[in-house]
Structure 1
Amino acid sequence: MARKLAELQARHHRGLLPEPTRLTVADWAKQWLEMKAKEVRPSTLNSYRYELTRLLPSLKNPSAHDPLGRMRLQAVQPLHVRRFLTELQGRATSRTVRLARTLLFSLFEDALRLEMIVRNPVAPVRLKLPPKRPPGRTLQPEEARALLAALDEGGTPIALALRLMLTCGLRRGEAMGLQWGDVDLERGVLHVRRAWIKVNGKGQLSEPKTPGSYRTVPIPPTTLERLRAYRATLEGLSEAEARGMWLFPGRDPSTPAHPDAPDHYLRRVLARLGLPAIRVHDLRHSYGSLLLANGAPVEVVADRMGHASPTITLGIYRHLLEEERMGWVLDLG
């Protein structure tokens, strides 16, 4: 304790301690959201705002009961955070509690970087929670083949968008944001340059999710054949005229189809095939899983999927890789 006091006194004399302020956690959260508006995609910002409002109700309703939000930012201690998360644990899912801790950590960590507080009170707080479930469900090879055949029978642009998600590992927004200028039908590759995401119920153009999401992806021969046939339906249009056109236009051809269109179509196809329901994002997840199961190096899968690093790929597919490793046995008799 004496050592900590001496350290604080030394920092005070060097002018490294923040000036006392009555800024509350909720006040700082509002400022933090304004900062993040310039750094993240609109959909991510909306997610931050939604989750923070659930954690700090006074952000939306100034008269709401909000013990943590009304505390002075500089007064929050690890014990306060621990009590808050423990109380949340009693009425929310493990996923919500994990997300709450992550969001609060970021909130206080940025305050620490700006020297508004002397330490992050969330950093030392640890909670015992059930292990995370593997993300989504992976289609088995035979299920993937049946789904692709059904999508080909559908013959609609949205069916082709779903095919791209499954055979090229594209995110929904990346597939829906493709223009013909992004697709090289001669070389058999496509370039991810933008995303068409849902913000407040409507479609909106955005940058790809991360810097690594800007990438060039090879198109499998069968999918390339479908794309060439689809391009042939644009009769009378030169390459220059088609370059700025959306692959999957909406009723108004100046914008792509609604971001939810693939979800609705996928549900109908799966019901017709009698396959269990999956999310559109599980098509991308299946792509990564099937690539790894077929022996693709983790680095290649990370590059194809636009992950920031192979470490992220390892984290997502660790369960699959562990199963694969179990098959490598040296039996010398």
Structure 2
Amino acid sequence: MRNYSSGYVTKHGNTWRAVINWQEDGNQKRLVKNTGVRCYEDRTERGADKATRDNRGKSLAETVLRDWRNKLIAQDAAEQIVPASTLPVSDYVRDYICNKERSGTVRDVTTRGYRSHLRHLIGTDLGAKQMGDVGHEDITRWEQDLASDGMAPTILSHTHVFLKQVFARARKLGDISSNPFDLVEAPRRRGKPINALPPSEISRLRHSLDGLGSTPLATGASIALKTGMRVGEICALRWQDVDLESSVIHVSHALTRVRGHYELASPKTATSVRAIPFGGSLKEVLLLRRDAMRSECEELGADWSDGLFVIGPTTSGTWKSPQGLAA
């Protein structure tokens, strides 16, 4: 009897399409079905960097998917329906990740994190156990084994939280009757040590920056020192984000490393979008940097734009990567 995956839905033309996978003779097989549920194009707002997902109709399409899967199972098993609760945990988690990946509801870096969590399941007793048979003792034993193998508490905690999320979804869909992760406390993470420069080093750094003028490195280091912004946020900072009159920097973008290169994106969390006031010393640094960039534009016959990056190349309109900042 085929062991069907829980499946997923994806947009195809003007309707949602359902996809179900299974393994047969060591090969991946796939069935595709048009759910007949209408879908809508993603919306791109004026000035936005990426499209906003439009998931209208997705819930109804997922209902069609589950009904279809049950019918397939019934046909293969002569009316004996095998619920998704019989899937091994590792397979169920893999389907969950595929669904997230194809829906576009999570960033690529998040999906890669999910797959790293999945690797901690594959080949373990918990990963091979059927979803409906998992108890809190299985989870505790599995986490103890990972800790004994030297897994860092922070990574173990992140993996725990992710799997609890998967099981919560399974509970919502009715694939399992209860979430065993509700009975297990997440492993405690070790507090990160405060990595702050002592006053003597701050004074030394300021003295060194004074001799570098309005270079990208000097400007970027001054912004970091006086605002606490991350290097990816500093490299993504445009002049339109700097209010020199009110002395406020608006953090709305950051550079994120994706598959070996940097991409401009919104910050990972909502709390990272913020307004940071700054003092007179940083204002002087920013004014010098802006004047230097404007002078360079005039010399090269290029137009000035507030869309230029504060520490990027003056005329190309591109950003300077964190790795290239010191160059």
1:281 corresponding residue in structure 2: none
Find out whether 1:143 has 2:201 as its counterpart.
yes
Partner of 2:69: none
Give the whole-Å Cα distance in 2 for the aligned partners of 1:150 and 1:107. Answer: 50
User: What is aligned with 1:50?
Assistant: 116
Residue equivalent to 1:15: none
Match of 1:25 among 65, 68, 89: 89
Deviation at 1:74, TM superposition (A): 2.1
Q: Which runs of 5+ in 1 are unaligned?
A: 1-17, 58-64, 269-333
Q: Determine which structure has greater relative contact order: mean sequence separation of CA pairs < 8 Å that are 6+ residues apart, divided by chain length.
A: 1
Q: Deviations over 1:138-167 (max 9, x none)?
A: 222332232233234344313322321221
Change beyond 3 A, Cα 1:173–1:36: farther
| Partner amino acid, structure 1, of 2:121 | L
Whether contact under 8 Å (1:41, 1:207) holds in the other structure is: no
CA change 1:248–1:127 in 2 (3 A) is closer
Distance 1:252 1:69 in 2: 53
Contact 2:236 2:264 in 1 (8 A): yes
Aligned residues: 238
CA contact (8 A) 2:171 2:179 kept: yes
Higher helix share: 1
SS in 2 for 1:69: helix
User: What RMSD over aligned residues (CA atoms) do the two structures have, in Å?
Assistant: 3.0
Residues 1:199 and 2:199 aligned together: no
Partner in structure 2 of residue 75 of structure 1: 133
Percent identity between the aligned chains? 28
Gaps of 5+ in 2: 1-80
Relative distance call for 1:70 and 1:177 in structure 2 (3 A) is same
Partner SS state of residue 260, structure 1: helix
Offset of residue 170 of structure 1: 1.4
User: Please, what TM-score do these two structures have when normalized by structure 2?
Assistant: 0.63
Give 1:247's match in structure 2, choosing from 285, 307, 310. Answer: 310
Q: Is the alpha carbon distance of 1:171 and 1:33 closer, same or farther for their aligned partners in structure 2, counting shifts above 3 Å? A: farther
Deviation at 1:250, TM superposition (A): 6.0
1:97 to 156, 160, 167: 156
> In 2, are the aligned partners of 1:250 and 1:258 still within 8 Å (CA)?
no
| Deviation of the 1:212 alpha carbon | 2.7
CA contact 1:246–1:253 (8 Å) conserved in 2: no
Q: 2:176, 2:111 → 1: CA distance?
A: 24
Match of 1:133 among 178, 181, 191: 191
Match of 1:124 in 2: 183
CA distance change for structure 1 residues 46 and 89 in 2, over 3 Å: closer, same or farther? same
Going by fraction, where is strand more abundant, 1 or 2?
Answer: 2
Larger radius of gyration: 2
Extract structure 1 runs of 4+ deviating beyond 4 A.
236-240
User: Alpha carbons of 1:176 and 1:112: their partners in 2 closer, same or farther (altered >3 Å)?
Assistant: farther
Report what 1:218 is aligned to: 277
Render the CA deviation track for 1:255-292: whole Å, top value 9, x for unaligned: 32223345xx4xx9xxxxxxxxxxxxxxxxxxxxxxxx
